[in-house]
Each structure stands twice: as C-alpha cells, then as structure tokens.
Amino acid sequence: MIFSPEEREIGKQNFEDAVGVSRRAFIKTAAAAPALGAFYFGYEKLKGSPVKVGFIGTGDEGSVLLTQHPPEYMEIVGIADLRPTNLKRALTGDGNEHRVGLIKKLGHKTATKIKQYTDHKQLLADPEIEAVVIAVPLNVHASITIDALRAGKHVLCEKLMAQNITDCKEMIRVAKETGKLLAVGHQRHYSVLYDNANDLVKQGVLGDIKFIRASWHRNNSFPNADSWMKQIPAEDKVIAEKVSQYGFDSLDQLINWRLFNKTGGGLMAELGSHQMDACSIFLGKKHPLAVMGYGGRNFYHVKGVGSKDKQNDPREIDDHVYVTLEFPGRHYEEDQNDIVIVTYSSINTNRMEPYGETIYGSRGTLVTELEQSVMLYKEAGGDTGGGGPGQRLRLVQAAAGGGGAVLSASPSTAPVGGGVGAAAASSNEKVSRGYTEEMEHLAWCIRNNIPQD
C-alpha cells in the first residue's frame, strides 16, 4: 500500500494515540520499567549471574543475534562456525548496522577472550556453556539442536525449526527426554510494536476482520542485487574439502544454502514463515483451515527474461510464491461461515512496497512496515465521521454495553491521545525487532528453572 509522506505520518500518529488511550495505565507503567521487553512479556530482570552461552553459526543471522544479545542476561563463552570469514566478522562486524561485531558490542578485551571453534561439537564439549543459540543453514537445524540437547545445553534455534515435521517432533522429544529448554526464534512474539498493534486488534478497534494481506517483495533483477547469492571469499576456500562432513555437497552450497532445496526452504521458509506467524498472532494464534498456493521459477532460468547471468543462475528454489489461507474467525465455532482470508506473496522482481502486513477491518485498517512502524486509518462513513489515509483520529471508549473502543475523526491535526509515554512504548521510533527480548526471556527461564513459558 503506497502512502504519501503526510499520510504515512498521520497513520503513525493515529497508531501512537490509539495505543496511548487503549493502554494508558499499562503504558505509563511500562515507560518507567527498567526493561521494556521484560515488562511487556512477563519476565523480569535477571537475578544471579548471566547465563553462559555459545553461538553456533555466525553468518548473516548469527551475527545479527550476536549484535542483539543482552549482556545483562547472557555471557558469551564461545562461538563456532565452519567458515573463517564468519568467525572473523563475528568479532569485527561487516559494516551493516545490524551486524556491528562483538568488539564494538563488548569491547576489544572482552570480545577477544571469547573462544572460537570450527566444529560445533567442540563448543558443545565445553562444560562452562549452559545454553546455545543456533543460527546455521536449515538442513542442519535438527541435527545440531539434538547434539546440543544431548550435550546438556538449553537451545534457542533460529526459525524455521527444521525442514520437516518429523525432525521437529524429534527435537521436541529429545528436549523432553533431556529436560532442557528448546526455543524457536520467531521473534515477532517479542516485538513491543506488534504487541501494541495486536492489543488494538483484540479490543476490536478495527471492527470485524475478514482479510489480511502480507507481502515481502524484493527486486533481484539488477546485477549483484541478490543478498542470497554470494561470492565465495578466498579465505573460505581452505574448508572446501571439509564441507561434505557437515551435510553440504560443495562450498557454494554451504555459503548460498538458501538457494538450494537440500539445504534451505525457499521464500516461504525464510520470509513467509515470519509473516504467516504475524498473521496468526493477529488472528488469536489460530491454525489455518485450508491453504492454496503457487510457486515457480518465473524469472530465473527463463529464456528471454532478465539478463544472461539470471538465466544461468544455479538456484533451485522458486523465485515467486503466492499463497491464500483460510483462517477461522473469532466466532467460527458458532458459525463456520466466519472465515478470514490471508494472502501472502513473495517475489523477486519488484520492491515498490516495504515488507509487512495490512489488516483490513470493517472500521479501520492497520498497516505494519519493516517491523519498525505501524499506521492506523479509519474507514469512512458511519456515526464517527470521516476517514481515509488523510484523516487524524482519536480513540473513543464506547458507552457501557456498546462494545469496545472505536475510532473517531479528530478535528485537530495535533496529537490527541498518548503523549510521551505512548510514543515510547508504542515504539514507532527505531525499535527492537524482538531478538534481544527472546534471548532475555530464555535466559530468565533458565535461571528460574521454568520448563515452559
């Protein structure tokens, strides 16, 4: 959905004001809390020493997790990665603000004391390590997680949990058998921004929701535009003969694992899983009733389409996917006609819109973008005045017996609801994507011996 800068700002202000009204008492307390994530998600500041952890996999996602890890809750004892370049950038970063490196995060003295391993089993043999964070290619999620659990370590495994349901069930079985915690990194469950957005949904501010549209569109048609297709660094060629021991056919398959069916899961696994998870959160964490989808290689390898390098690209995964899902509505058990349709698309040839979700209700529309902002707009008409993307709003608590809060047009263009507290906790400024909070919560559960939370 395309908005003008003015419409975008109005939508953000509408959201902040609505959250400020709907959660006024909650926000006031949250803004004063020493740890915002802890206050929101039911855990506390850690009592006792930080949990001693190891990180297995320090590539793109692993380095994000290293940057976001909470030193007050976790002390990094060791890191493991087969690739020399990944071990190096774990310390130094790679110039991306999301992967700053441990030297910048912790200081040179502390960071350079962290043990480095080229085999995850060497790290797991370290008796000092209590838990591990696993961010490796998808095809080895299950095997490394099971190795870690059997070594007596608690585990946070990045999403997807595994490549198939059989492996997922085995991971759960071994966690129960060993008595160790197993968490899966769907971090939007720990996003303050999404929690506030979902609160408005649960209150019925949007009215009856019948449709959600989610998308993650990228444009890889230009030369060197695809972040999933990487060149092989010279420093990594020294491990070319070793990769077969770890489940990979070649060094290229290890480095570009997202592009191959054996090692990855394609667009739905890497991108769609996040957004299907978000849609499920907005719909009460329900499972879909039915799914219909299409996926194909409609750009890469297609004669006459794109440049020559795209036609010769070695990837196996689909480059365009489209999915339609039927979810049960709030009153489905009483009337099975209460259905919510969710559509998802992920493409590789256009990125006009930022990734996110749009929730269409009978009284309003809520738009999330880039996990960093939420915009709220009112439907035009009815007793509550005008609407649309150019209309400033206020949230009105309905009279007794009249239902929940409703959106009303505001005669003012000035902020009408939340003020500083709402802005801080509704988090329309630069916000945490939930990585830090999910690690904090795991550490808190370990220290408090909480088996399920």
Residue 420: predicted pLDDT: 33
Strand, helix or coil for residue 7: helix
Band (381; pLDDT cuts 50, 70, 90): confident
What is the DSSP code string of 210-247?
A: EEEEEE---B--STT--TTS-PPPGGGGGGTTTGGGGT
Across the chain, mean pLDDT equals 90
Percentage of the chain exceeding pLDDT 70: 88
The more confidently predicted of residues 437 and 45 is 437
The more confidently predicted of residues 422 and 178 is 178
How many CB atoms within 10 Å of residue 309? Answer: 11
- Rounded to whole angstroms, the Cα distance separating 280 from 286 reads 6
Domains and CATH numbers, the chain: 5-31+191-426 (3.30.360.10), 35-189+435-447 (3.40.50.720)
The more confidently predicted of residues 165 and 384 is 165
Residue 413 has pLDDT above 50, yes or no: no
Residue 26 has pLDDT above 90, yes or no: no
Band (45; pLDDT cuts 50, 70, 90): confident
Strand, helix or coil for residue 25: helix
What is the DSSP code string of 235-285?
A: GGGGGTTTGGGGT-SSHHHHHTGGGSTTT--HHIIIIIHHHHHHHHHHTTS
What pairing do the DSSP bridges indicate for beta strands 320-328 and 373-378?
A: unpaired
Partners of 288 in beta bridges: none
Band (396; pLDDT cuts 50, 70, 90): low
Residue 400: predicted pLDDT: 44
Residue 82 has pLDDT above 90, yes or no: yes
Give the mean pLDDT of 192-214. 96
Q: C-alpha distances in angstroms, 414 versus 16, 17, 22, 49, 411?
A: 12, 10, 18, 47, 9
Q: Per residue in 123-147, pLDDT tens? A: 999 999 999 999 999 999 999 999 9
> Would the pTM count as exceeding 0.95?
no
Q: Is 304 left (phi over 0), alpha (psi -120 to 50) or beta?
A: left
- Rounded to whole angstroms, the Cα distance separating 90 from 111 reads 9
Q: Per residue in 108-120, pLDDT tens? A: 999 999 999 999 9
Buried b (16+ CB within 10 A) or exposed e, 333-351: eeeeeeebebebbbbbbee
The more confidently predicted of residues 397 and 39 is 39
Band (349; pLDDT cuts 50, 70, 90): very high
Angle at CA of residue 430, ends 351 and 54, nearest 5°: 95
Q: Per residue in 245-304, pLDDT tens? A: 999 999 999 999 999 999 999 999 999 999 999 999 999 999 999 999 999 999 999 999
